[in-house]
Amino acid sequence: MGGLMEVAQNFYEVVETTCRDLYIQSLKEIPPDVVDAIKRAAARETKEVAKRIFSHYLRSIELGQKDNMMVCQDTGIPIYWVEIGGNVRFDGAKLTTAIIKGTERATREHPLRSSIVAPISRENRQTSTGERIPIIHYDFVPDSDEIDILFMPKGSGSENMSFMRMLVPADGINGVKKFVLENVVGAGAKPCPPMVVGIGIGGSSDLCMTLAKKATTRPVGSKNPDPKIAAIEQELFEAINSTGIGPQGLGGDTTALGVHIESAWTHITCNPVAVNIQCWRAERRRAKISTSGQVTIGF
């Protein structure tokens, strides 16, 4: 136990306030890698309608940064990816409560539109929270004495364009590629392209979809460390951009800003594949919190 570091007395209050800020800031400031990708796409675009749409995107980004405005009205489903340092000693129940409270405070104190409702009654608590919402994924990192919180507000336009299939090994990687392309093309304008296409391969059905969603949080254009998977990312990226769907589905040279794949080992008789699409904004915000309560904000 000597190697563990106790968190400061006010640690959970810091987490709560930080999660509030992550939610609000993610809706107003688009990540730099996304902005750069949009600028590059706009510069090489040859279709006039696509050029106009890109100019609107860039203006919206500017308003968010300079005038403290939300880039889109959709506040999304609040999702947190929390990586906990192996050297940190803390109360997990208090940490979860702090994240939930931070989500509620963002919605009430900003205020944000609450997009979360009960699935049957459609009751809305006006807090962006509800049963099992926010969604919180926990993981642990060895030899670390901090907590890393990555937040994404997942809008419904892109989230509705989620697809999963349990292929069989005989389908091979070509079956995976076909599934991805069929569904991205079928999604068309609905996920507000140009999109970030997240792909999960392997695992179980639930893990596969989680991997696809996690893939959308990677910096745009980053490559999977496995060169074989990175090659598939590039192949699909080129194929999707050859469709001509373009910004908002009105035609253009860029349909995808990035294609990212995450994978897991799977059962010998399984070949799962999932697609989770993120809209052009690819909103996310990250905070690293030390055991002393020091916060570093980034993307």
- Residues 154-213 have pLDDT tens digits of 999 999 999 999 999 999 999 999 999 999 999 999 999 999 999 999 999 999 999 999
CA distance 23 to 100: 11
Q: What is the pLDDT of residue 6?
A: 87
Residues 114 and 9 in one domain: yes
The answer to the question of residue 132 being in a domain is yes
Both 139 and 255 in a single domain?
A: no
Contacts for 31 with CB less than 8 Å, ≥ 6 apart = 219, 220, 282, 283, 284, 299
Secondary element (H or E) of residue 164: strand 162-167
> What pLDDT does 110 receive?
93
- Measured N-to-C along each axis, helices 92-109 and 11-26 cross at an angle, to the nearest 10 degrees, of 40
Query: What's the pLDDT score for residue 161?
Result: 96
Question: Is residue 36 a part of any domain in this protein?
Answer: no
CB neighbour burial string for 177-204, b if at least 16 within 10 angstroms, e if fewer: bebbbebbeebeeebbbbbbbbbbbbbe
* 20 and 127 in a common domain: yes
Looking at the structure, do residues 84 and 164 belong to the same domain, yes or no?
no
Please tell me whether residues 18 and 102 are part of one structural domain.
yes
Which residues lie closer than 8 Å to 227 by C-beta, 6 or more apart? none
pLDDT of residue 1: 45
User: Are both 267 and 168 inside the same structural domain?
Assistant: yes
131 and 192 in a single domain? The answer is: no
- Same-domain status, 130 and 186: no
| Residues facing residue 130 across a β-bridge | 133
| Domain region containing 124 | 5-27+72-155+283-298
Q: Is 192 in the same domain as 287? A: no
51 inside domain: no
Instruction: Return averaged pLDDT per consecutive 10 residues of the chain, 299 residues in all.
Output: 78 97 97 97 96 97 93 96 95 97 97 96 97 97 96 96 98 98 97 98 98 98 97 98 97 98 98 98 97 94
Q: 167 and 258 share a domain?
A: yes
CATH number for the domain spanning 133: value is: 3.30.1330
Tokens coding 198: 């997240």
Give the chain's domain count: 2
- SS3 state at 84: strand
Is 249 in the same domain as 203?
A: yes
Same domain, 128 and 208: no
Statement: the pTM of the whole predicted model exceeds 0.75: yes
Burial letters 23-50, b for 16+ CB under 10 A, else e: bbbbbbbbbebbbebbeebbeebebeeb
Give dist(CA 24, CA 15) in Å, integer.
14
Rounded to whole angstroms, the Cα distance separating 154 from 175 reads: 28
| Residue 38 in domain | no
Q: Report angle CA 17, 21, 24 to the nearest 5 degrees.
A: 140
